[in-house]
């Protein structure tokens, strides 16, 4: 049978539960995923004075074809987007500035250094998000930035974050969609600190200075991102979840949850409903931790499905800003983007094809037997037939046929670098 015929048969099974599958696919088309540029070059960036990767971040593997120029990286992103259904976004770090061979310090970056990215995004109908880069720099060599006891170092990073917000504003004005500018820092200590309070006090003061200037949320949205642990900050991270949750709520900022930034048994899916009670918006960096924050390529596992279910069942598709964050240099990098992003979209589709209202009612009625039975039965409903039709309808490869496109691109482009 054809993809369309399989779809029609599958659709009837979902319609028995009152699910309008055609409407689901139209709704799914409207959900953008912010795909991180740094998978394509192993978080190297394009600074004239390139620094060694630091800040508790590590990329393992040496698969051939890494992007080494902005043009190569944009080409690789284009190939990945051609294999992913829908219109999406690109998430940039400050180290991806293009300065025409001139060394520009991070506190002196300007919108003009991202003009080529904006022109490219316009050409392809993409939104852009942004992150100041507070790692891989001599002023972050001791693992401290915005909480540093040295005021001069602290001020350098404060200015970097300020100019980053202006770059985000520039993206929003030029592209007609607000940029999410997200602040993450590596600050912390390897061993047990003798003072947890003072570094956090300095971080709070730094953030207050960064956010002094009001920027219209039509153009830029501010987010702050926590972490529980890092290489070199095993015992204490200044910007903990509690710190940033409190700061975001008190200062009307967006709290960003990275799925790899919590304890191994702590799930982001369980946090979403609580945070939606108190926040108009929240943001995600979806990654896959293996034991700890190892930023593996996102797979369609239980937690990814549960994250999508929490977003969908709580009618929060317009409240949760979904971005990805992983970097694997042991496999083809274009394939990594394609696998991870397609899986995020698959998870959202799976959630939309679940009879969420009926399941909620069963819980209210304390009918836990039927609730569990339906949870399990829907795992083997013909979700794949709906996904295949969505891909075909959106003009991207169906099933694993996208892999042939990647193999061809590898032979014709990546291996010639």
Residue of 166, 253, 271, 285 marked active site: 285
The helix/strand/coil state of 367 is: coil
Task: Select which of 42, 159, 174, 293 is catalytic.
Answer: 293
Verify whether residue 107 is a known catalytic residue.
no
List the domain boundaries for the chain: 1-30+355-417, 32-352
Task: Reply yes or no on whether 293 is catalytic.
Answer: yes
Selected catalytic residue, list 41, 159, 295, 388: 295
Which pLDDT does position 59 carry in this prediction? Answer: 82
What is d(CA 330, CA 256) in angstroms, rounded to the nearest whole number?
27
| pLDDT, average across residues 241-254 | 97
Residue 275 pLDDT > 80: yes
DSSP, residue by residue, 302-328: HHHHHHHHHHHHTT-TTTEEEEE----
16-to-8, 11, 390, 393 alpha-carbon distances in Å: 13, 9, 20, 23
**285 labelled catalytic:** yes
pLDDT on residue 234: 87
| Rounded percentage of the chain residues whose pLDDT exceeds 90 | 93
The residue from 148, 261, 271, 346 that is catalytic is 261
Q: Is residue 230 over pLDDT 90? A: no
Confidence of residue 1 (pLDDT cuts 50, 70, 90): confident
Asked if residue 55 has pLDDT above 90, the reply is: no
Say how many CA atoms lie within 13 Å of 148 toward its Cβ: 20
Containing H/E element for 255? strand 254-258
For residue 150, what pLDDT is reported?
97
Residue 53 has pLDDT above 90, yes or no: no
Q: Note the pLDDT tens digit of each residue in 193-208.
A: 999 999 999 999 999 9
* Residue 258 among the catalytic residues: yes
How does residue 133 score in pLDDT terms, banded at 50, 70 and 90? very high
Would residue 22 show up in a list of annotated catalytic residues for this protein?
A: no
Q: What is the architecture of the domain spanning 32-352?
A: Alpha-Beta Barrel (3.20)
pLDDT tens-digit map of 346-383 = 999 999 999 999 999 999 999 999 999 999 999 999 99
pLDDT band of 49, cuts 50, 70, 90: confident
Q: H/E element holding 58?
A: none
Mean residue pLDDT across the chain: 96
């Amino acid at each position: 049978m054809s993809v369309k015929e399989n779809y029609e048969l599958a659709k009837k099974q979902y319609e028995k539960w009152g699910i309008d599958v055609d409407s689901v696919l139209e709704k799914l088309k409207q959900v953008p995923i912010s795909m991180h540029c740094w998978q394509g070059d192993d978080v190297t960036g394009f600074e004239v004075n390139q620094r060694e990767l630091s800040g508790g971040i590590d990329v393992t593997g040496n698969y051939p074809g890494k992007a080494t120029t902005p043009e190569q990286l944009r080409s690789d992103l284009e190939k990945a987007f051609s294999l992913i259904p829908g219109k999406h976004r690109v998430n940039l770090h400050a180290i991806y500035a293009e300065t025409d061979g001139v060394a520009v310090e991070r506190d002196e970056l300007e919108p003009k250094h991202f003009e080529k990215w904006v022109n490219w995004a316009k050409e392809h109908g993409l939104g852009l998000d942004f992150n100041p880069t507070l790692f891989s720099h001599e002023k972050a060599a001791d693992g401290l930035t915005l909480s540093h006891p040295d005021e001069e170092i602290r001020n350098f990073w404060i200015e970097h974050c300020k100019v980053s917000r202006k770059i985000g504003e520039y993206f929003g004005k030029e592209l007609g969609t607000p940029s999410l500018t997200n602040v993450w820092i590596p600050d912390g200590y390897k061993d047990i600190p003798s003072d947890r309070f003072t570094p956090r006090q300095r971080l709070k003061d730094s953030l207050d200075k960064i956010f002094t200037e009001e920027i219209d949320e039509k153009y830029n949205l501010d987010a702050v991102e926590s972490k529980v642990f890092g290489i070199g900050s095993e015992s204490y991270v200044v910007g903990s979840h509690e710190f940033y949750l409190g700061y975001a709520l008190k200062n009307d900022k967006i709290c960003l949850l990275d799925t790899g930034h919590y304890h191994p048994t702590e799930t982001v899916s369980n946090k979403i409903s609580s945070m939606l009670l108190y926040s108009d918006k929240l943001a995600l960096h979806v990654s896959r931790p293996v034991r700890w924050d190892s930023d593996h390529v996102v797979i369609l596992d239980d937690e990814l499905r549960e994250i999508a279910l929490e977003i969908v069942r709580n009618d929060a598709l317009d409240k949760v800003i979904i971005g990805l964050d992983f970097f694997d240099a042991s496999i083809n990098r274009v394939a990594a983007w394609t696998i991870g992003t397609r899986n995020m979209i698959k998870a959202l589709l799976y959630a939309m094809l679940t009879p969420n209202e009926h399941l909620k009612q069963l819980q209210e009625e304390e009918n836990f037997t039927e609730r569990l039975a339906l949870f399990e039965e829907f795992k083997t409903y013909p979700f794949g037939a709906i996904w295949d039709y969505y891909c075909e309808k959106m003009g991207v490869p169906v099933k694993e046929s996208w892999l042939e496109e990647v193999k061809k691109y590898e032979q014709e482009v990546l291996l010639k670098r």
